[in-house]
Amino acid sequence: MSGHSHARTVKHKKEASAAQRSKAFSKVSREIAIAVKEGGSDPATNSKLRSVIEKARAFNMPTENIERAVAKAAGGGEAGNLQEVLLEAYGPGNIALLIQGITDNKNRMLGEVKQILSNNQGKLVEGGAVRWMFDQKGAVTIDPKDANKEELELKAIEAGAEDLYWREDGWLDVFTLPQNLEQVRSKLEADGIKIEAASLDWVPKEHVDAQLAKDAAEKLFDALDEQDDVQDIYSNIKA
């Protein structure tokens, strides 16, 4: 999927149970910690933090939780032990996977993800074996609701979109160059378009139509989502 976590997970987290939302908030808090660690605690000058805060709001994370996470990260502590990890794998039907995580124990994460993959027709591969199949792009997700699709596409192109992708669930992914993400999002918002999420995503260069593997892939995605250190999952299966 063109960013399995990007549109699907935003929708999923909005409809999640209280326990699932709590897990989602914990994962977003880790993203906030990394963003603060890299660029400071002021979202006005830290675009990565600003994007993560928007993601947190898309998940309906309360404002006080967001502010607490920023303050905690700014104080150092356990945030200093966190690191970002990108794992490469194959899944059911030989689909390509990129698994993005934030962890304070890389070896533990590797072991747990390896076990999840093994239980779900997948396997880890060496670095570089899968990543070449993806490009990192800015991705803005829009729920068009009752908007005119052609007008929405035109506005996205005028805002600087490089590519558009309509998903089966009716949501629109707008892709940009990584450095243009903030600019495109700002232009769309200024045009009155409600943004569901905006982030840097790994987007497959080509999608594979693996109909027979879809159910198994969804099972794998759900199992990976449950792992505490896994933040995002990207695959090249056609959505």
The pLDDT of residue 78: 65
Q: Give the range among 15-24, 25-34, 84-93, 113-122 with minimum mean pLDDT.
A: 15-24
Q: What is the DSSP letter of 203?
A: E
Q: Count CB-CB contacts under 10 A for residue 31.
A: 25
Q: Say how far apart CA 101 and CA 218 lie, in whole Å.
A: 18
pLDDT at 3 over 90: no
The pLDDT of residue 216: 92
Per-residue pLDDT tens for 128-179?
Answer: 999 999 999 999 988 888 889 999 999 999 999 999 988 877 889 899 999 9
Q: Count CB-CB contacts under 10 A for residue 196.
A: 19
The pLDDT of residue 146: 81
How far apart, in Å, are the Cα atoms of 57 and each of 109, 220, 226? 27, 26, 21
Are the C-beta atoms of residues 91 and 130 closer than 8 Å to each other?
no
Does 5-80 match 82-132+206-235 in CATH topology?
no
pLDDT at 16 over 70: no
Q: Say how far apart CA 66 and CA 82 lie, in whole Å.
A: 18
**Among residues 106, 173, 176, which one has the least CA distance to residue 136?**
176
- Parse the chain into domains and list their residue ranges: 5-80, 82-132+206-235, 133-204
Residue 228 identity (one-letter amino acid): D
Torsion region of 55: left, alpha or beta (phi above 0 gives left; psi -120 to 50 gives alpha): alpha
Average pLDDT, the chain: 87
Per-residue pLDDT tens for 48-76?
Answer: 898 889 888 878 889 999 999 999 888 87
Class in CATH terms, 82-132+206-235? alpha beta
Are the C-beta atoms of residues 93 and 213 closer than 8 Å to each other?
yes
Share of the chain above pLDDT 70, in %: 90
Q: Tell me the pTM.
A: 0.85
CATH for the stretch 133-204: 3.30.70.980
Residue 168 identity (one-letter amino acid): E
Tell me the mean pLDDT in the region 197-216.
86
The pLDDT of residue 14: 55
Alpha helices by DSSP H, the chain:
10-14, 18-39, 47-58, 63-74, 106-119, 149-159, 181-190, 214-226
Does domain 5-80 sit in CATH 3.40.50.300? no
The pLDDT of residue 159: 94
pLDDT at 4 over 60: no
Neighbouring residues of 62: CB distance < 8 A, sequence distance ≥ 6: none
Buried b (16+ CB within 10 A) or exposed e, 168-177: eeebbbbbbe
The larger pLDDT score, comparing residue 132 to residue 211, is at 132
Q: Is 77 helix (H, G, I), strand (E, B) or coil?
A: helix
